[in-house]
Amino acid sequence: MKPAELAIASLATAQELLLEPYGLSEHHLHRALSDIFAHKVDFADLYFQYTRSEAWSLDEGIVKSGSFSIDQGVGVRAVSGEKTAFAYSDVLSPQALHEAAITTRAIARAGQSAKTKLALSPALAVPPKCLYGDFDPIAALTAQQKVDLLGRVEAMARKRDSRVIQVMASLAGEYDVVMVLRSDGLMAADIRPLVRLSVTVIAEHNGRREQGSSGGGGRLDLSMFTDRLIEHYVEEAVHQAIVNLDARPAPAGTMPVVLGPGWPGVLLHEAVGHGLEGDFNRKGSSAFSGRIGEQVAAKGVTVVDDGTLKDRRGSLNVDDEGHGTQCNVLIEDGILRGYIQDSLNARLMKVAPTGNGRRESYAHLPMPRMTNTYMLSGKDDPQEIIASLDRGLYAVNFGGGQVDITSGKFVFSASEAYWVEHGKIQYPVKGATIIGNGPDALTRVTMIGNDLALDSGVGTCGKEGQSVPVGVGQPTLRIESLTVGGTAS
């Protein structure tokens, strides 16, 4: 489907789901915006959303839960200078929309500025690319097929290794339809499929138990989970658990660390990506504030946020403000080039929006948020990077972590890691935590692999209580000096 055709089809579906059943028309939408503009505001928008989601989970060979939900509503926003007024309703009707608009107008009175003319003839936003289809991903499989899929996960995991004593798996799908009408006359709609399969196994040997996890997904339908792909996820989860059965306590101290490709990019996302979001930099609370054009990373380090990757979890045809997504170069060869922006912070910083205005739902305000954030490949052979370690840690996968945006300090736990001496992997280690400072760590990158990989499609990013799907990635990296917290005596 061409972008223009997709835009028209998405708008028709959005109107069919969000307007027509409730007696709403474009007249009611324009009336709501006019109600807001009875007072002086700079900008206003209406954000309609319909979400149908489903989730199934398996534990101990039994599908123990299945859930199905539908949520819909409208968020009404008015912006005046730096002030934002917002109201939302989970009831869709002309009266509910009118009341939300009046409430927003009342909240907005305190922050008046120059009045902007309201555009009454909307123009349909056409996305630059068609990144995914406009289908219902949940409908690709019947209920029985979903149960059978989870059963195959259980069987594959137990067959792979006799030490697997427990298998947990979950399957989720979401059909999300959004529509935005802005006071500048732009109307946008998007249909966003999203699926995910998660696998966790517990293995036991000689009284010791360890856990391994894997999974993936994207903006496809549930039929993406073929037996071959399921087996890949199972193999990864079982491998991680079995490796950790033999893991020794991790050494502690300051040392060079090699990060594996793909999911370890979550460290880049947390420790650097959040610090490059426009709101933190406008307020001066990021370690990167006011540093555009400066060397903030080692030469060779290029970081992008790219919302235009086909079928990826973090990709969007248009963001939640109707702007087309794009590939934003944030750091180029070590030089800070820009931040990611929503419309509010872009206007206040006198730059263009970057297609990163995102919100969890109609009940939330948009903020500058990441889409798919990753570091580009370098020229080094990954095996040579590992061989370059005299004594150090090779972290293949990460679990949870924390970061302080203002200072850039981070702490991450490694879920799969190995101790390396004289360029050779010696043994797996357990209990390793990686401690450092994001901006400082970027300056300590000394080798960049030629093996860029993106995560398998499991990432969810939290910010100010809102969660959105994202992607991460990176090639194999050597960082010259990080603090490793370990449990070895």
Considering only CA atoms, which of 306, 286, 285 is closest in space to residue 296? 286
Q: Tens digits of per-residue pLDDT, 207-242?
A: 999 999 999 999 999 999 999 999 999 999 999 999
Average pLDDT of every residue of the chain? 93
Instruction: Check residues 116 and 302 and name the one with the higher pLDDT.
Output: 302
pLDDT at 270: 87
Q: How far is CA 66 from CA 63, 69, 152, 171, 270, in A?
A: 8, 10, 17, 9, 32
pLDDT at 66: 86
| H-helix or E-strand spanning residue 191 | strand 186-205
Question: How many Å apart are CA 211 and CA 204, to the nearest integer?
Answer: 9
pLDDT at 41: 86
pLDDT at 198 over 70: yes
Helices (H), 19-164: 26-36, 94-108, 143-160
